[in-house]
Amino acid sequence: MPHIHVTCAIIERNGLVLAARRSALMQLPLKWEFPGGKIRAGEDPGECLKREIREELALEIDIAGELSPATHHYPDFIVTLYPFICKAKTSGFKLAEHAEAAWFPPGELTGLDWAEADLPVLDAYLATLERKS
């Protein structure tokens, strides 16, 4: 069973969070995710994430923190997500791969149809916001 290692970005700006919807042609079609991608051999995870976000959304980010990695078993592969909390330098983005992306108030994120691996990541992120409030 393949095991892939994927960085993903929880990108904040002005109290909103960016979520992206996978295209119909991608694996896990039309599921919502935190954008990111596979870590290349020898690549620093933070650099991987900045590269992926630039490629997929033409967005520049700063990394502000990270959450614990989360491993999920899909029927045909295993993924470990490495989630980073990021700040976007600008609000505008340009879709290169995703079906759509949008800025959401954190409280609306749970209503999206997430890739299953993201559910514990989303819970952990929302818990960090609870602790801050």
Question: Which residues make up the interface to ligand 8DG (CB under 6 A)?
Answer: 4, 6, 8, 26-28, 33-38, 52, 79, 81, 115, 117-118
Antiparallel, parallel or unpaired: β 3-13 and 78-88: parallel
Question: Smallest distance, Å, CB 11 to ligand 8DG?
Answer: 12
φ, ψ at 4 (rounded to 5°): -110, 155
Question: Smallest distance, Å, CB 132 to ligand 8DG?
Answer: 22
Give yes or no for a contact between 42 and 115, defined as CB atoms under 8 angstroms apart. Answer: no
CA separation for the pair 67, 54 (Å, rounded): 21
Give yes or no for a contact between 23 and 75, defined as CB atoms under 8 angstroms apart. Answer: no
Closest CB to ligand 8DG among residues 32, 133: 32
Closest CB to ligand 8DG among residues 13, 43: 43
Closest CB to ligand 8DG among residues 38, 54: 38
Question: Smallest distance, Å, CB 69 to ligand 8DG?
Answer: 12
Closest CB to ligand 8DG among residues 11, 117: 117
Question: Smallest distance, Å, CB 108 to ligand 8DG?
Answer: 17
Amino acid at 82: Y
Per DSSP, the chain holds a count of helices (H) and strands (E) of 2, 8
